[in-house]
Structures are given as structure tokens and as C-alpha cells.
Amino acid sequence: MEKKEYKCTAATKEALFDAIFALSKQKEYDKITIREICTYAGISIGSFYHHFKSKDDLAIEAYYQVDKLINEDFKELCKNKTPEENLYLILKSYIEYVSNEIGILIKTYYKLIMEETSVSAFEPERLYYKALTCILLECSKKGYIKENINVNEITEYCLRFLRRLIFDWSLHDGKYDLTKQFETDYCYLIQGLK
């Protein structure tokens, strides 16, 4: 593949994220080399090391791209919906991101975060976390969820719901339809919140 020139760091990183996602769908993570990632992305190995210390660092940051879900299109989509519909949309968008973009690379992410100290895409300062909290606050104000539930606690509960579902899917090597299972499990989640 011909080497590409990237004028900005964001474009280089995006190419590397795309490469690790695509290659992990073709072969096991442990068998993917940095050279293969760079060839697929069309960048030099030196450029790779300018941005990341290792393949593991790339995999962790690639997973963090979930914050991209909370973009202007998502905000526009939420404008004409009820808080309950927005809760469904934000949770489902995460599941679809894992299913469609990350795929079974999620197993590697879980392995890496268990080896690290406190690495998590669900930290309170992350954009996805903040957006979910705001939606749950609106759900509470409009009576879609019980009044006596602390919004920060319910945000954590919803994130555990996502982690549980995704972890189970990864334990099954992605052999079932994650989005379809989300639809079933979400019904139970929302009944419990009401």
C-alpha cells in the first residue's frame, strides 16, 4: 500500500485506529504487528511511535473513540426525542459502536484494562459519561425513572449494564448478535428503572 502523508495528528491517529479495527477482524490481536498496522494505515513506523508507545496503547486509545459518538449529529437527533428515547439511543449507540467498529478486539481491551491500574472508557470526565448523566437527569425530571434514584448511581448502573453485556458477548467470541441481545436486555433495564 502506498504511504500517505498526514498533515495533522488527528488524521494519522484515525488511520491507525481504522487499521487496528480492520486487522483485528482478520486475525488475532497477538499476531498483528506494528508493521502491518502501519502498512494498512499508510504511515511510517516512526510516525506510529510518535503517537503511541506500543500496540497496546493504540488499542486502548482506539476504544476511547467512543466519545466520537457524542457529536453534533447525535445531539441533533436527540433534540426531537423524549429523554427515555435518548437514553435508548445513547446506550444503543455504544453497543453498535462495539459491535460494528471494535468487534472482538474488545477482548483485548478488557485484558489490557485488567492489567493496567485505572484505565477505563467510563471515567466521569469522559464525554460519553457526561452525556449519559445529562440524559438520565432529564429522565428523572420528566418522571421516566424513579425520583428517589441518585442520577450518578444510575449512570454507573447503566454503564455496568453495558459492560456486562459487552463482556458476555466477548466471552462468547462475538458469536451472537450483540445489538439484538441489547434490545432484549434493555427492556428489562428500563422496567427496573421505572
First-to-last C-alpha distance (Å) of the chain: 54
Distance separating alpha carbons of residues 55 and 57, to the nearest angstrom = 5
Contact criterion met (CB below 8 Å) for 136 and 145? yes
Q: What does the pLDDT look like over 97-153, one tens digit per residue?
A: 999 888 888 888 888 777 765 556 567 788 889 899 999 999 888 888 877 778 889
Asked whether the whole model's pTM tops 0.85, one would answer: no
* Residue 182 predicted with pLDDT over 90: yes
pLDDT band at 6 (very low <50, low <70, confident <90, very high): very low
Contact criterion met (CB below 8 Å) for 108 and 173? no
* Residue 4 predicted with pLDDT over 80: no
Q: Which of 192, 193, 173, 190 is nearest to 182 (CA)?
A: 190
pLDDT given at position 99? 92
Distance separating alpha carbons of residues 28 and 108, to the nearest angstrom = 10
Instruction: Kindly report the average pLDDT of the chain as a whole number.
Output: 86
